[in-house]
Structure 1
Amino acid sequence: MARPVPRARGIPLRSFAPNAITALALCSGLTGIRFALSGEWERAVLMILLAGVLDGIDGRVARFVRGESRFGAELDSLADSISFGVSPALIIYLWALSDLPRIGWIVALIYAVFCALRLARFNAAIDVAEQPHKSAGFLTGVPAPAGAGLAMLPLYCWFWSGEPVFGSAWLVAPWVAFIAFLMVSNLATFSWSSLRLRRSARFEAIIVVVVLAAALVSAPWQTLTAICVAYLATIPFSIASYARVRRLRAAPAPASGAAD
């Protein structure tokens, strides 16, 4: 007699909250396209930034309520691909790259596809035991939310300066292509979630967060510009730090002392 096939289990109730936040991030990213179609560029950018905030929350909520699931991981990757790949590509194309219809559209496609490739590589490596970058506390390439924020750097500069040069397709196209390369590259970048503050530095960290929040409220676009520049400046240091970790790992272990 054939054994009954076990029924597939549904999504546990505790996974509802993180999955709902992920869905909100997806809605936020898609709403950015809606604002871009009507020429409301600041609102379009804010929707992508809001999606980034929600993306940073959903994983922590899932761990807090123990609601991690394979479904949630797949939904998160799909939402990230749209919110930080497709949506920024379309926003930037409608804003500047449409002045070069063929080249601009190719660059927008490259950015969106490279973002999807990065996320696919991340998903494929979830069950891989040996991940040198991750085990050393680094990421491989620039993560998708950070990539979206960096790709929109010309928009930030245009908002606060009003200079038309920042909206030039000849400037924006190579910049977006460069950020797309950083996302799929094998460069080691810092993983902020793996950083641990010393107890003596926690008070100073709170001060930095308060100052940063005040700056974002009073001068958001200038502050975002500074954050992007600071993040890019950390990449050479992260590459050097990972190279140092590799050298230490490759160094032969010291020989044990002779027995008495």
Structure 2
Amino acid sequence: MAVESPFPPFDPGNRDTPDVAVRRRIPFRHIVPNVITLLSICAGMTGIRLAFEGRFEFAVLMVLGAALLDGIDGRIARLLKGQSRFGAEMDSLADIVNFGVAPGLVLYAHTLHEARSVGWIAALLYASACALRLARFNTMLDDPNRPKWHGAFFVGVPAPAGAGLALLPVYLSFSGVDLGLPEFTASMTALYIVVIGLLMASRLPTWSGKGAGIRVARDWAIPIILGVVLYVAVLVSFFWETLSLTALAYFVAIPFSVRAFSRRARREAASED
């Protein structure tokens, strides 16, 4: 008599198919992306711990590291052909921790606690908006009527970008920018992260970088490569200042993404007439 494993199957959604019932082994490539997702959760949770220990620079780096891991786990899954519904659900749960809870608590420990209850309410609203944004994103994935070209845009600011934007007050603090009295700085930060939460939960179209099919002229290839190298060099040399400018550049790009989405929608509507 075979002893039943004490652990549930890795992908319970597929356990009822006859083939899986017979073949109880799964390829290791299905596990790798989920390990990366779990590592991102560990990074976000460690960022929270470091923030409450007063090591804010390392705390922010952990949140940014979680965003980096979040950006590569899906690509690795597609590269290894290891996508699964299980992995998609776990990725969303990780995003709530890494880009909703962690930035809110890091900001509370760094600045928002000076505003007392107002700062805590702002952190709660930010985390709640992040959760709402991720829930809507998951439901949109199952929408069969969504046009394919919409894949080039996110609906609202994506959670990793929202976390990066929310931490802008911390970047400025590390860059030596003094906004005045701690209570005033905390109040402004509270208002700021509520605005970021609203941007995440909004329906503003923002560029996703996925499915855009961007092609560049050959003459522009070398300047673009050199531009990326320059950005990395400046980032290494002036880390917090470069992150601050990057966040500001993202804000500037939002109106352009809205305009690009509107133009594309008009072209598609005209082509259907």
* Letter of the structure 1 residue corresponding to residue 178 of structure 2: E
Return the alpha-carbon distance in structure 1 between the equivalents of residues 106 and 66 of structure 2: 14
Per-residue deviation, 1:138: 1.2
* Letter of the structure 2 residue corresponding to residue 35 of structure 1: L
Residue in 1 that maps onto 2:57: 42
Per-residue deviation, 1:243: 1.2
Residue in 2 that maps onto 1:258: none
Q: Deviations over 1:45-96 (max 9, x none)?
A: 0000001111111111100100000111011111111001100001101111
* In the alignment, structure 1 residue 242 sits paired with structure 2 residue 261: yes
Per-residue deviation, 1:249: 2.4
Residues 124 and 94 (structure 1), Cα distance of their counterparts in 2 relative to 1, 3 Å cut: same
Residues 133 and 143 (structure 1), Cα distance of their counterparts in 2 relative to 1, 3 Å cut: farther
* Letter of the structure 2 residue corresponding to residue 65 of structure 1: L
* In the alignment, structure 1 residue 225 sits paired with structure 2 residue 240: no
Question: Percent identity of the aligned residues?
Answer: 47
Task: Tell whether the 8 Å contact from 1:188 to 1:239 is kept in structure 2 after alignment.
Answer: yes
Per-residue deviation, 1:205: 1.9
* Letter of the structure 1 residue corresponding to residue 97 of structure 2: I
Task: Tell whether the 8 Å contact from 2:96 to 2:134 is kept in structure 1 after alignment.
Answer: yes
Q: Which moved more, 1:11-20 or 1:204-213?
A: 11-20
| Among candidates 173, 193, 196, match of residue 190 of structure 2 | 173
Return the alpha-carbon distance in structure 2 between the equivalents of residues 39 and 82 of structure 1: 20
* Letter of the structure 2 residue corresponding to residue 198 of structure 1: V
Residue in 2 that maps onto 1:160: 175
Residues 252 and 217 (structure 1), Cα distance of their counterparts in 2 relative to 1, 3 Å cut: closer
**Pairs aligned (count):** 251
User: Pairwise mapping of residues 126-165 of structure 1 onto structure 2 (< 5 A)?
Assistant: 126-132=141-147, 135=150, 137-165=152-180
Q: Which runs of 5+ in 1 are unaligned?
A: 255-260
* In the alignment, structure 1 residue 23 sits paired with structure 2 residue 38: yes
Residues 10 and 97 (structure 1), Cα distance of their counterparts in 2 relative to 1, 3 Å cut: farther
Return the alpha-carbon distance in structure 2 between the equivalents of residues 123 and 75 of structure 1: 11
| Root mean square deviation of aligned Cα | 2.1
Return the alpha-carbon distance in structure 2 between the equivalents of residues 204 and 31 of structure 1: 38
What TM-score, normalized to structure 2? 0.86
Q: Which moved more, 1:42-51 or 1:124-133?
A: 124-133
| Among candidates 220, 227, 246, match of residue 208 of structure 1 | 227
| Among candidates 191, 201, 205, match of residue 188 of structure 1 | 205
What TM-score, normalized to structure 1? 0.90
Residue in 1 that maps onto 2:93: 78
Name the SS for the 1:165 alignment partner. Answer: coil
